[in-house]
Structures are given as structure tokens and as C-alpha cells.
Structure 1
Amino acid sequence: MTAQQLAAEASRAVEPFYRLLDAVAEEVLRSRPPRAALTETHFSGLQRLLAGLLAEEHGIWGMGFVAAPSVVEGRERYMAWWQRHNERVARLRLNFDPTSIDVYDYLQMDWYQLAQRGQQRVAYGPYVDYSGSDMYTITATIPVIADGIFLGVAGADLVVGDVERRLIEVLRHTDEDAVVVNTERRVIAANTPRWLVGSRLDTVPTVGETFADVAELPLGTGWCLAIARR
């Protein structure tokens, strides 16, 4: 199979995560009152949705809505985010006090900023989320927009091992060494020990001495799939 064919299959393997984020974004928009300020009380339906999704999809550690400044009335920062701990789902609560030494300023996070700048699908990582889940994760986000106004992002912390497993199942369709890397050249998955998950390639994969075929995943995250030369 060509890199383009494998890239298309790899996209289909990860696409379900973004369909779940679409559902989260739709619930946020549905909860938003037409002629009143958005408050925390409007998110009861979102909480039920997130609890159900986390119970069903074990490829996700946590997920929710992260609001732009002052979108939620009386809140300069606001996260409606739930996490799964074994079989229990609980609300994640972080410190948003800007005067505190351990403030969690999500406005500076790449997964937030890229969506704010208009990227329709963001996949940041893999990285260790020391502030949230303490897990090795990939944070996937999409922008939530109403009437041209950026309200925030719908996001999910993906289990790296689950993403890797889905992609390896695709990479097994070729007998050649193949790898999927993100925009920072970090390895997401490979069908060979030649590349370790999380390691960084020296250069962006291009057709040349090392790689015989390269294609970007249609997923929209900027990931690419490369097949090595024999």
C-alpha cells in the first residue's frame, strides 16, 4: 500500500475521537441560552454527556469544554472537564488564580491557542500532563464557535497507548518500516522498534534517502505517515 492509502486508513482509525468532540461542542452550543449569559448551571446536560462518553470510550482519560475568557458569566477562566479514574468519573478542578504560583493558565497552552487561531483539529503531544491527568497523553481539541465568536474549545486527553494501537493496526498493512509523526516530528506510532513513541525525528519526513513515500493524514492535525526505504 502507498503512504497515501495508509494515511487515509490511519485517519479513519483516529476520526472517532473527533466525532466525540463534535458531540461535546454541539452540546455546549445547545446549552447556550439565546438571550442570556452562559452560566455554569447551563452545563448539566454536558456533564451527563461527558460521564456517558468517558464510561464508553476507554481511549480517553478525560474530556470537556474549556471556555474563552469571560464566556461563562462571572468566570475569567472556566473548565467543564471530567476525568475517568478506574471506573469512576469525577470533575477536574484546577487553580485559575493568576496570582498563585501553581496557576493553570490554559490560555497559554498550544492545544488551546491553535484552536483559537482557527485550526479546526488540534492534536498536541504526546506529553506528560503533570497539571491534569499525570498521564502520558495527546490532547485533542476543536474550536467551539457561535455567531463568529470563539467560545472556547471542546477537548479530550487521549490515551497514547490506545492511539498507538489503532495506528499500528494500520501500519501492519505494509511490510516496510513505517511511522506516523506529529508536527513536532515526534513519533506517534511505528510498526518497528526502529522508532520509539515520543522520540523526535531529526527532520520532517520527506521522500529522499531515508523515506521512499510520505503522505499527510487527511485527519487535519498535521500528522504524516512515512514509509522507509529498504
Structure 2
Amino acid sequence: MTPRQSPSSGTAAPAPSPDPTSPVYRDAYSRINGVVVVGEGLADRHFRLLARAIPEDGAELLRLGAMEGRHARDFIGCGANLGVRPDAALAKQLFAPLHALFQECDSAGDLAGCLVIQCLIVECFAVAAYRAYLPVADAYAQPITAAVLADEAEHLNYGEQWLQARFAEVGDAVAAICRRGLPVTLRILQAVAADMRAIGMDPADLVGSFCELFEQSLATIGFSATEARRLVFRSVATVPLG
């Protein structure tokens, strides 16, 4: 049994919550908000492209895309509430390689690749990010973030079901696109790691949550737990957050 800690030894006091009105917070938040807004807008575009590519599910995919568009508008409102404009220029630059990879898959008719990028990588990224942000979100952003978080799980589920039903045919393609897409996504986190810390988020915890979610998704669609862990670990190891 661990000895009870004596009062004299003390415990570390919790870190004070960042002040959302401070210039440092607002500066960092502009870049975080930009990544969120641009990411949600990009997800809307991706789902619309998927609706064209999978016409039998077109109505459902357009519905999912419309949800992403609403999320983008809601998060613009979160920034406006703090008097912050999202740094969309930086965010577009950070997301450009991932969007280019989606377009490459779309042009090649690689539906599995498109779905891995949008419904697994982007959605796991979003779920992990919103889970990490929710405890430190300001009073205005907290209910919005909670509602968006519930929606993202639905988007993740669509991709998992589609890929699971075809895993025997697409398993190798899924692994290949993961090896290309995961490092690209983690570099986005790497670029805003300092900003996450400035608003009270822990980048390492976010990456851990993202990896866990992604491994679970890979296992759901048909990979063994060992295969999923190895695939994610090798990708993450190439992009240290520092």
C-alpha cells in the first residue's frame, strides 16, 4: 500500500486556467481557431466530393457535409465572442498537403483512401482535439464544442462501416494511405503545439487520444490490434512534437 502523503509534503497546485482575454491567449487562439474552422470547412468539401463519388449514399453524405459547414460557422462565432479572427491563411497552408492527398485519391477513384482521410484521420483528429479542448473551453465555446463532438462520432461511424464491409478488398490500400496521411496530420498538431499549451491544452495528451481513437477505428474495420498499433506507432514516431 502506498503511504499516505503527509500534509507537510504538500501536493502540486493545479495550474491556473489561461485568461481568454489576455493578448497571449487571443493570439494563440487565432491560430487554433483557424485550424478548427478551416478543418471543418474542408470536411464539408470532402463530404460533398464523396457524395458525388458514392451516389447511393449521396443524401447521407451531403447531410454530413452540411453538419461540418455548420460547425465551421459555430466555431467562427466562438472566435468572434473573444474578439478573435481565425488565422485562416496559416490553417489553409497546414491543411494543404492533406487536402491534396484527398484530391489525389479522389482523382484516382480510390474511395477507400478518401474515406480513410476524411472519416478516419480527420474525424479522429477532430474528436481528439475537441475532447482536449472541452475542459478548458470558455463558457461560450463549451456547449458548442460538446455538441460538435457528438456529431463527429457519427461521421467517424460512416467511414468505419463502409471500410469494414469491404475490408478484404481495401485493407492494403487503407494501410498505404495511413502511412502517408497520418504524418501529414500530425505535422498540423506540431505546428500549433505551442498555441495549444497557451490556451491550456496538452499536445501530448491530444496525440495520445488521437492515436488511441485511430487504433480503435482500424481495429473496427478489420485490422488486428497489433497491426493497428504498429501502423499508428510508425507514423507517429516520424513527427515528434518537441
Q: TM-score, normalised by structure 1?
A: 0.32
Compare the two structures and name the one with the higher helix fraction.
Answer: 2
The structure whose residues are more often strand, as a share, is 1
State the TM-score, normalized to the length of structure 2.
0.31
